[in-house]
Amino acid sequence: NAGVTQTPKFRILKIGQSMTLQCTQDMNHNYMYWYRQDPGMGLKLIYYSVGAGITDKGEVPNGYNVSRSTTEDFPLRLELAAPSQTSVYFCASSPKGQGADTQYFGPGTRLTVL
């Protein structure tokens, strides 16, 4: 199993541009998550999904959109990129989404908005 894969690894955007961060998992997990990690600030939940067709906001959803048309894929869309969205973005998945259920993280996408 490849686990959780993310593309691209790096990206530089200009202010106002848009892009989609791709996330795919091959573990048949129902739950998927998008986090952002700013230096020294820990992980903040952007959006999560409990299954295909179902998504919900996390702690910091503004400026982002998600969709979940299949179990495997959970893309994150940035519209009108802003410098405040410069961060490292991690996608994660888990089987049950509760308690100590392990979240499996992808390698991250480093995004810079200039």
Partner 1 sequence: QKEVEQDPGPLSVPEGAIVSLNCTYSNSAFQYFMWYRQYSRKGPELLMYTYSSGNKEDGRFTAQVDKSSKYISLFIRDSQPSDSATYLCAMTWITSGNTPLVFGKGTRLSVIA
Question: How many CB atoms neighbour CB 64 within 10 A?
Answer: 19
Residue 106 interacts with partner 1 (CB under 8 A)? yes
Number of residues that bind partner 1 (CB under 8 A): 26
- Pick from 1, 2, 14, 42 the residue near partner 1 by CB under 8 A: 42
Which residue in the block uniquely carries the two structure tokens 């820990």? 42
Using the minimum distance from each CB to partner 1, give the nearer residue, 17 or 88: 88
Q: Scanning residues 22 to 41, which ones bind partner 1 (CB under 8 A)?
A: 31, 33, 40-41
Of 64, 85, 78, 75, the residue nearest 32 (C-alpha): 75
Q: How buried is 106 (Cβ within 10 angstroms: 0-12 exposed, 13-18 middle, 19+ buried)?
A: buried
Using the minimum distance from each CB to partner 1, give the nearer residue, 14 or 39: 39
CB of 86 to partner 1, least distance (A): 16
